[in-house]
Amino acid sequence: MTVLFTSLFRSIQAPVAASLLVGALVASCATSTESPQSQGRGASVAADVNIERVVLQAYRAIGDRHLYEPNFRTLSAETYRGLAGADPALSLTTSDTRFTVMRDGREVMSRPTPGDTSDGRAWGGMLAELLAGSIDSSTTLQESDRQALIRKAMAATTKQLDRNSRYADPEEARDNRFQRDGGGGIGITVERTEDKKIMIRALQDGSPAGKAGLEVGDQILAIDGKPMVDSPLSDIVLNLRGTVGTPVLLTVLRPSQGREITVGMKRGRIVPTTVVYERRGDLALIALSGFNTATTDNLRTAIDKARAEIGPGLAGLILDMRGNRGGLLDQAQAVAELFIGDGTIFSTQGRHPDSRRTYRSGTARKVAELPVVVLMNGGSASAAEIVAAALQDRGRAVVVGTTSYGKGTVQTVVRLANEGELILTWSRLQAPSGYTWNELGVLPSICTAKAGNASQIGTTVDASQGSLMRWHALRNPTPEEVTDLRKICPPGDNSPERDIEIASQILRDRSLYAHAVQMGTYQAAARP
């Protein structure tokens, strides 16, 4: 069983200016056992997939792993209606003991319902029979795209579970696996401009594209001789991906030279860059955009680079996780371990025995005691919230910005027979002090939504103590309490420069930093 801490996908994803990272689409983050070389095979495998098998597999997983015990009576009815909705002549009649499929008022088939509404295997088996019979009786369903039918059935299913459980169809699932694990690609970010051109927006350091001489601003015209001018971005990404070591030929128009250039290269293993370092005088500003398999190593490298570049005068680190939608659970733990010594980082609680666990830190991987400010906003979620809550609770950083998104749950990924993925919520997260931020979010020590300018920081720190104590004291807040508390520091979507200015002032004023850390640390968090 593979466990992950997912990003939020569509729920908080900011509008995309038509840009995609070739070799690693910005999508979900998860753990997969699939090798990077095999990731292009999904479409052919899933072409003739058995719908009933996918549904049965999903129901078994939901029954075993979902955070809450499901009611499969309700779930089965909604799943059926989601799939059969493509044919208005079909309907489902339910009673306490039977589910009956009708077509134009006539019975197609009827099955007795299992007695235990939490038995996913039994309900999945019954539903699979009803779906098979419905497809056999419906020309409309027989002529429908199988993947589209599965998507409708799974969307109806996950809608009944929770806001973070969802289904990813095979194409999106392949993108998800690329994002979290990397794979064969050339390491460029492409975007579609307003005048419909496909341009290279960024190059990953050391990538095949960079080594081959491609440049930011090049317009992609063709891949392996195939014209790409009118193609969607997804087709361009698909054509540039492939097995590591295989060749690809790219034809681009270089506006600066006014000529076409054809460049050949071999695909390399590409893992998306999630860590970007920038020197700000005596401070290190490190933007952390996600959590994939390379994040912790790249963050450690960035900190080492800052130490070497700035030297003994390094005053502190600003860890910018604004807009960071999350990623891998183990990477969230590893990033927190860079800053936290022995003791609890976070814990998880769920229905499945394997979902109940406490994650602790050792001192072996810890970096030097640099003062740290973490920047957060309403787009910060998932793994970013784990790190922020842990560092704040353990008195290791000052959190600055606005209240985060509030995704305090862990997901497990179930790879389905059609090469799609069921992303299933299976446990709830707790900070070291014991509070859970699901729906609530992480409250910053310094709310920049309330601090008009840097001169008000001290007042803001003092005012935040009572709010943080209320925040951390709640264990199962009601929706009304969540709404009320989130008004204290309304979540924002922007990433203003002022946040960095405030963080810089805090780090350069050691007494203010110490005061802010103390005010932001809940007393119980000091317990290992």
Lowest mean pLDDT among 29-43, 100-114, 321-335, 450-464: 29-43
When pLDDT is cut at 50, 70 and 90, the band that residue 523 belongs to is very low
Q: CA 93, CA 9: separation in Å to the nearest integer?
A: 35
Residue 201: helix, strand or coil by DSSP?
strand
- What positions carry a catalytic annotation? 382, 393, 407
Closest CA to 344 of 356, 360, 330, 332: 360
- Averaged pLDDT of the chain: 84
Closest CA to 51 of 139, 116, 144, 160: 144
pLDDT tens per residue across span 249-258 = 999 999 889 8
Instruction: For residue 250, list its beta bridge partners.
Output: 223, 263
Alpha helices in 365-444 (DSSP H): 383-393
pLDDT tens per residue across span 156-185 = 999 999 989 999 999 888 888 777 777 788
Alpha-carbon distances of 297 from 60, 258, 293, 324, 328, rounded to whole Å: 37, 40, 9, 18, 14
State whether CATH 2.30.42.10 applies to domain 183-270: yes
Quote the pLDDT of residue 295.
Answer: 93
Which tokens sit at 486? Answer: 């989130």
**In the predicted structure, residue 379 carries a pLDDT above the cut 60:** yes
Quote the pLDDT of residue 70.
Answer: 93
**In the predicted structure, residue 463 carries a pLDDT above the cut 60:** no
Q: How is domain 275-342+365-404+437-526 classified at the CATH fold level?
A: 2-enoyl-CoA Hydratase; Chain A, domain 1 (3.90.226)
For the chain, domain boundaries: 183-270, 275-342+365-404+437-526
pLDDT tens per residue across span 260-306 = 999 999 999 888 788 999 999 999 999 999 999 889 999 999 999 99
**In the predicted structure, residue 208 carries a pLDDT above the cut 70:** yes
Quote the pLDDT of residue 20.
Answer: 34
When pLDDT is cut at 50, 70 and 90, the band that residue 40 belongs to is very low
Q: CA 500, CA 320: separation in Å to the nearest integer?
A: 8
pLDDT tens per residue across span 296-340 = 999 999 999 999 999 999 999 999 999 999 988 999 999 999 999
**In the predicted structure, residue 2 carries a pLDDT above the cut 60:** no
**In the predicted structure, residue 491 carries a pLDDT above the cut 80:** yes
Helix and strand element counts for the chain (H, E): 16, 24
Q: CA 232, CA 196: separation in Å to the nearest integer?
A: 10
Q: What is the mean pLDDT of residues 37-58?
A: 63
Cα 37 from chain centroid?
Answer: 23
Whether 275-342+365-404+437-526 and 183-270 are alike in CATH topology: the answer is: no
Alpha helices in 144-273 (DSSP H): 146-159, 170-181, 208-212, 233-240
* Cβ(378)–Cβ(345) below 8 Å: no
**In the predicted structure, residue 3 carries a pLDDT above the cut 70:** no
CB atoms within 10 A of CB 435: 24
Q: Is 170 left (phi over 0), alpha (psi -120 to 50) or beta?
A: alpha
When pLDDT is cut at 50, 70 and 90, the band that residue 9 belongs to is very low
pLDDT tens per residue across span 403-417 = 999 999 999 999 999
Q: CA 50, CA 34: separation in Å to the nearest integer?
A: 21
Which tokens sit at 333? Answer: 């733990």
* Cβ(214)–Cβ(200) below 8 Å: yes
Closest CA to 319 of 407, 390, 408, 411: 390
**In the predicted structure, residue 522 carries a pLDDT above the cut 60:** no
Provide the residue type at 308 as one letter.
Answer: A
Q: Is 277 left (phi over 0), alpha (psi -120 to 50) or beta?
A: beta
Highest mean pLDDT among 125-129, 352-356, 450-454: 125-129
* Cβ(339)–Cβ(397) below 8 Å: yes
Quote the pLDDT of residue 458.
Answer: 58
CA atoms within 13 Å, Cβ hemisphere of 425: 23
pLDDT tens per residue across span 383-395 = 999 999 999 999 9
Q: What is the mean pLDDT of residues 341-365?
A: 85
Q: What is the mean pLDDT of residues 49-60?
A: 92
Q: CA 4, CA 106: separation in Å to the nearest integer?
A: 46
Which tokens sit at 20? Answer: 């995609």
* Cβ(231)–Cβ(221) below 8 Å: no
CB atoms within 10 A of CB 141: 19
Scored b (16 or more CB within 10 A) or e, 474-495 reads eeebeeeebeebbebbebbeeb
pLDDT tens per residue across span 441-451 = 999 989 888 76
Scored b (16 or more CB within 10 A) or e, 405-414 reads bbbbbbbbbb
Quote the pLDDT of residue 462.
Answer: 55
* Cβ(265)–Cβ(212) below 8 Å: yes
Task: Read off the pTM.
Answer: 0.78
**In the predicted structure, residue 226 carries a pLDDT above the cut 90:** yes
